[in-house]
Every structure is written in structure tokens, then in C-alpha cells.
Structure 1
């Protein structure tokens, strides 16, 4: 079982859109996939719930060891793709994690899923917190969407420094450009000079496309809305890069 996370300390950078689309593409390739929506805003839950809104459960019983993680897993409309829906109690996750006596609770919680799940994707809230620390310790790779602006690049540097403080190996931090608008000279300049601006960046850049916004309207992965569009093609390319590094 492999665990990957989509995380950034900034919000609004395309993190959840990437997590949902990669989860869908993985599942349709025959990989049993679980997406855990750790963000109390619940955007990933909204995208994957289909016509019926998935209702998450309070995480307290999981943290206290009173309920196994399997009790929180729900089906989605898509084969081989399951979901742990968001719940508002996740806003207090950091406090509850600090109260936990386990050295690495996420690994403990996820371990029972290994027999039936090949890939777990963590969609994380934007923060540098105890939850972020646990994600960094647990995930085999952390994918960080970065908008090609100086402010967003500075946020990447902050997150990279945070990971270094947690003794996370640099190769596990994998940034990629997101919400790229090539009509803007700054975006073109930064993306075209990625080797300098964003070392270790993946080759794929996700465009700033209106089709991605339609995911919220249709509550479906982009592959089912605009499969032939440039954004859907970009997510497929991103998945191929991620897939090549997975040990499945």
C-alpha cells in the first residue's frame, strides 16, 4: 500500500482538484484507491459524492482507538474508489492529535486498510500544523501544487523548510505547477525556467482552465466532464508521472 498526499500551506492552489482527479484516474486503472478528505471544508467530499452528499463521521472515536478506520470508509459512484468524507470535527484535529499517545497515529490507523487498498490519497487542509507533521511522516510522497507567482514560490520554500525540519527526505516533496495561465508573462517566465524557479518540479503543469471550476457544478472528476480538454489531458499526464514513482 502506498500513501500520497496533496498539500500546501496556501489555499486556493488547486490541491483538491488534483487529489480528486488523480484518485479517479488511479481507480479507473484498476488500482483500489481511497481518498481521505482531511479538510473540514469538504471540497473533495463534494466532488466525489455524486447526487447524494456523503456524511462524514466525527473523528474522535478513531483517534481514541474506539472505532477502526474501516467504519469511516464510504463508497463513491466510481468502481475501486472509496472515500473517507470530511467532517467538521477535523477542524480540531490538531488538538486531538496532540492528545494522542501514539508516535505515528496515521500509520497505525491506515495499516488495517493495506489488505484491500493499494493507494491512499490524503487531501490536506492548508496549514503547517500537527496534522501536517503527521502527513509528512506518513506519506510516501507529498505533492505540492504551486501557482507560478513569487508569493506562491515563497510559500513552497516555507513548506520545504518545514519538511526539512521534520527530517523529510527532499525527494519525497514533489512540487508541480498549478493554475498556470500562459497569457501572463510572469507565469510563462517561471514555468519556462522551472529548473531554477522550482527545482524538482514535475514536468506536468496544470492549466488555469474554466473546465476545472465545472467540477463543483457537476460534482464529478474532470475526466467525466471534459475528457478531451487541455486540463483533463494535463491531469492524465500528471497521473502518469505519479504512477511511475509508485511502488504498486
Structure 2
């Protein structure tokens, strides 16, 4: 089992859209996928029309394998199941702080509850916390959407610095440009500068700013299911291939 986290320490960069479309693309390729929503807002579950389990809350996520597996929901798509979030997930940092070996708790929970899957995709909340440190240690790859703007570039560099400071494996970080607009000079200049600076830390994929991605909320479905020929759907398909190549 491989664990792929979709993470950014900045909100509004397309993290959940990436999680949903990445999971769907991998499942379409024939891999058994579990999309695990760690964000208490529960947007990934909303897109897949699944309701969260009220029984999975508090420390049970990390300690009770049966409740974990019972909370998993099937989606409308082959090979793809979802573990939707509920509002109790907002207190994960509190629960983790009380546990022994807190930095490895997430990995243990996923390994125990996700044995039936080839790939686990994590939709992560946008912060650096005890939970996110668990994500960093548990994941085989950390996919980071980066809008080509100054603030998004800054938060990507903060993430790299955090990994260096904590002596985490920086080669796990796989950034890509998200919500990019070719008509904007600033976007083009930022992408060129960041590719020169960060090299292999950035994938070749660029997901465009697209109405089809925004329409996911209306269709409550991944882009490829209602706009397969769109530039966004093709970009997400290329994204999973690049990520799997790195793995």
C-alpha cells in the first residue's frame, strides 16, 4: 500500500479538487483506492455524495480498526472508496498530543485499516500541526498544489524549510502548478522562476484555472466524469501518472 497526501499549508489552492480527481484517475487505471478525508469540512465526501460516519470520532480514528473500516463508504465509481470526515476531526491535534508515539499514529491507523487498498489518498487540512507532521511521516508522496502567485510560492518555500528543519524527507514533496492562467504575466514569470529554483521538487503538470473544476460542486463528481475532454481532466490524468512514476 502506498500513501499519497494532497497537502498545502495554504488554503484555496485546489487541494480537495486535486484529492478527488487524483483518486478517481488512479481508480480508473485499475488500482484499489481509498480516499481518506482528514479535513473536518468534509469536502471530498461531499463531492462523492457520501455522508460521514458519526460513530468514528475522537481517538477511535487512531485506535479502533473496526470503527475505522466500518466508516469507509463505497463511491459510485469502481475501485474507489471514501472515508469521509466529520467535525470531530477538528480535534485530531488534541487527541494526538495525548498519545504515545504521536508522530506515527496516523501511519499505524492507515496501515491497519487500509489493508484492502493499493493506494490511500489523503485530503489534508491546510495547516502545519501535529496531524500534518503525521501526514508527512506516513506518506510516500506529498502532492502540493501551488498557485503561481507570490503568497503561494512563499508557503511552498516555508514547507520545504519546515522539512529541512525537522529533518524530514524532502524528496517526498511533489509540487505542481494549480489554477494557472496563461494570460497572466505574473503566473508565467512565477512558474519560470520556481522551476529554475526548485527543479525536481516541481512536477511538469500544470492544472489550469478552469470552469469545469468549479463545476465539480454542482455535479458533485470528479471532472473526468462530466468533462473528460477538458484541459483540467487531462491535467489531472497526467498528474497521477507523474506521481506514480515518482513512486
* Band the TM-score falls in, shorter-chain normalisation: over 0.9
Of 59, 81, 103 in structure 1, the residue corresponding to residue 57 of structure 2 is: 59
Which 10-residue stretch deviates more, 123-132 or 108-117?
108-117
Q: Which runs of 5+ in 2 are unaligned?
A: none
CA contact (8 A) 1:16 1:44 kept: yes
Q: CA deviation at 1:186?
A: 0.4
- Residues 106-161 of structure 1, C-alpha deviation per residue, up to 9 Å, x if partnerless? 12111224541110011000001111110001001111111101111001111111
Pairing of 1:32-181 with structure 2 (within 5 A): 32-49=32-49, 53-57=50-54, 58-63=56-61, 65-68=63-66, 69-103=68-102, 104-181=104-181
The DSSP-based 3-state class of the residue aligned with 1:202 is: strand
Query: TM-score of the superposition, structure 1-length normalised?
Result: 0.93
The CA distance in 1 between the partners of 2:193 and 2:241, in whole Å, is: 22
Which 10-residue stretch deviates more, 58-67 or 183-192?
58-67
CA contact (8 A) 1:190 1:197 kept: no
- Name the CA shift for 1:63/1:245 in 2 (closer, same or farther; >3 Å): same
- Residues 39-72 of structure 1, C-alpha deviation per residue, up to 9 Å, x if partnerless? 11111111112xxx41233422524624532122
The CA distance in 2 between the partners of 1:64 and 1:190, in whole Å, is: 40
CA contact (8 A) 2:37 2:84 kept: yes
- Name the CA shift for 1:63/1:231 in 2 (closer, same or farther; >3 Å): closer
- Residues 166-218 of structure 1, C-alpha deviation per residue, up to 9 Å, x if partnerless? 32212111111111011110001122344225432100011000110000100
Q: Which runs of 5+ in 1 are unaligned?
A: none
- Name the CA shift for 1:147/1:76 in 2 (closer, same or farther; >3 Å): same
Which residue of the partner structure matches residue 28 of structure 2? 28
The DSSP-based 3-state class of the residue aligned with 2:63 is: coil
- Name the CA shift for 1:110/1:75 in 2 (closer, same or farther; >3 Å): same
**Runs of 4+ that moved beyond 4 A:** none
Query: TM-score of the superposition, structure 2-length normalised?
Result: 0.93
The CA distance in 1 between the partners of 2:78 and 2:166, in whole Å, is: 36
Which residue of the partner structure matches residue 212 of structure 1? 213
CA contact (8 A) 1:63 1:96 kept: no
